[in-house]
């Protein structure tokens, strides 16, 4: 009940309409009995039960229409995709391919520090990020999307589960969802390992070279600048050599067969 009311908050008109309807149903019940609300205390238990059942049926219709029952596939509303992170790691990026989802929210389950066991607490990392500029049109409907950790409200560290809440308010589509959801862990700095023998030997050779005072940054930059300019010229000339000269034939021949259909 509480969850259904929370859902109805973002469908203000529907909430108001149905709430009014529910009140009417509960209070009036029978159209013929207009004074039934005054005689509520005298209603029989059967009549009260009948009203309650009608109310529940009505709320169930609301739940189905708004997608609250996520087990039932709906053309519009919302659905949830759960992806499990690997052993509570840190997440760098979440990528997926959109399929007619209008908005996406990301919820993370993070393990609390110092708390052993359990999955942790859920928190909202991203709320209602638009994936389609117009939910009724095709723009953005099949785009590849990525959500970086910088775009999230909370740090996606020590995450055990990721929940993508997908929303599609338009009833124009047969189905909606996301595909190919991938979680990219945060890159760890490479550990400093032991150098191989030949690298170690190289370092020893460099250390034996006599140092002739401190290096002059200006002189080093003066020496490097011409080299850089030379490399630029070389790159440019090599690029110009590989530039297409505009010929469409192959070794002077353009005698072709029929066009390839594949």
Partner 1 sequence: MDEGAELSLTIVQLVQRLKGSHLHAQMEREARECLHQPEIRLDSIKDDVRSFLRTSGWEKKLQNAVYRELQVERLASSLTAAAPPEHVKEPLAYMRKAQAGWERRILKSLNGMSTELGVPLARMRTAAEQRELSSKWNEMGTDEADLTGFRPIYAAKDFLEVVVALRSPNHKCGGDEEPGTRSHWGLIQVPLDVQDIQQLRGAYAELNLAAGQLGIDDDGHIHPDFFERDYVETAKKVLGGQDSAAAQQYSRRGCPTGLRADLWALILNSVDRPQDAMHFEQLKAGVVQHDLLVDHLIRKDVKLTASNDDYYFVFEDFLYQVLLCFSRDASVLEHFKYNSATPPKSYIRGKEGDEAYAVVYPPNGVIPFHGFSMYAAHPRLFQWPRCASCTRSRQSCTACSGRCTPATFSAYTLCPRRARVSCRCVCFWSGSCRRTCRDSSTTCDGSELSRYASPLSGCFELSQDISAPTSCFSFGTESWATTPWSWWRSWLPPSSPFGPRT
Nearest distance from C-beta of residue 54 to partner 1, angstroms: 29
Residue of 175, 203, 225, 238 interacting with partner 1 (CB under 8 A) = 175
* Phi–psi pair at 256, nearest 5 degrees: -115, 160
* Residues near partner 1 (CB under 8 A), total: 44
Nearest distance from C-beta of residue 253 to partner 1, angstroms: 6
Task: Read off the DSSP letter of residue 261.
Answer: -
Nearest distance from C-beta of residue 261 to partner 1, angstroms: 6
Long-range contacts of 16-21 (CB under 8 A, 24+ apart): 18/58, 18/62, 21/58
Q: Is 81 helix (H, G, I), strand (E, B) or coil?
A: strand
Would you say 18 or 99 has its CB closer to partner 1?
99
Stretch that binds partner 1, among 39-47, 120-128, 166-174, 210-218 (CB under 8 A): 166-174
Does 103 participate in binding partner 1 (rule CB under 8 A)? no
CA–CA dist 37, 158 (Å, integer): 56
How many other CB atoms sit within 10 Å of the CB of residue 135? 23
Would you say 60 or 138 has its CB closer to partner 1?
138
Nearest distance from C-beta of residue 36 to partner 1, angstroms: 38
**Vertex 261 angle, CA 260 and 262, to 5°:** 95
Nearest distance from C-beta of residue 121 to partner 1, angstroms: 29
Does 240 participate in binding partner 1 (rule CB under 8 A)? yes
Evaluate the CA torsion angle 219, 225, 227, 230 in order and state its sign: negative
Does 253 participate in binding partner 1 (rule CB under 8 A)? yes
Nearest distance from C-beta of residue 187 to partner 1, angstroms: 14
Residue 108 · residue 125 · CB < 8 Å: yes
Report the Cα 60 to chain-centroid distance in Å: 30
CA–CA dist 172, 86 (Å, integer): 37
Nearest distance from C-beta of residue 258 to partner 1, angstroms: 5
Would you say 2 or 248 has its CB closer to partner 1?
248
Does 231 participate in binding partner 1 (rule CB under 8 A)? no
What is the dihedral angle through the alpha carbons of 231, 232, 233, 238, rounded to the nearest 10 degrees? 80
HSE of 15, CA atoms in CB hemisphere, 13 A: 9
The token pair at 105 is: 């929210």
Residue of 30, 142, 200, 203 interacting with partner 1 (CB under 8 A) = 142
Residue of 16, 19, 24, 144 interacting with partner 1 (CB under 8 A) = 144
Residues in the site for partner 1, rule: CB under 8 A?
75, 95, 97, 99-100, 133-134, 136-146, 171-175, 180, 182, 236, 239-240, 243-244, 246-250, 253-261
């Amino acid at each position: 009940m509480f969850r259904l009311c929370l859902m109805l908050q973002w469908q203000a008109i529907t909430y108001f309409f149905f709430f009014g309807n529910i009140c009417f149903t509960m209070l009036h019940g029978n159209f013929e009995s207009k004074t039934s609300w005054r005689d509520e205390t005298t209603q029989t238990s059967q009549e009260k039960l009948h009203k309650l059942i009608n109310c529940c049926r009505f709320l169930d219709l609301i739940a189905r229409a708004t997608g609250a029952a996520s087990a039932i596939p709906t053309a519009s509303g919302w659905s949830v995709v759960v992806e499990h992170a690997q052993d509570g790691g840190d997440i760098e990026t979440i990528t997926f391919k959109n399929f007619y989802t209008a908005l996406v929210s990301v919820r993370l389950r993070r393990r609390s520090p110092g708390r052993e066991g359990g999955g942790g607490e859920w928190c909202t990392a991203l709320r209602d990020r638009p994936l389609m500029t117009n939910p009724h049109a095709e723009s953005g409907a099949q785009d590849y999307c990525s959500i970086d950790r910088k775009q999230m409200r909370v740090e996606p560290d020590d995450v055990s589960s990721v929940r993508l809440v997908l929303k599609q308010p338009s009833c124009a589509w047969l189905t909606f969802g996301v595909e190919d959801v991938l979680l990219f862990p945060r890159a760890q700095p490479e550990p400093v390992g032991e150098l191989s023998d030949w690298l170690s030997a190289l370092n020893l050779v460099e250390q034996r070279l006599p140092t002739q005072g401190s290096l002059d940054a200006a002189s080093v930059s003066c020496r490097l600048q011409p080299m850089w300019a030379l490399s630029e010229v070389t790159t440019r000339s090599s690029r110009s050599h590989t530039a297409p000269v505009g010929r469409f034939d192959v070794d002077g021949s353009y005698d072709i067969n029929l066009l390839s259909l594949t």
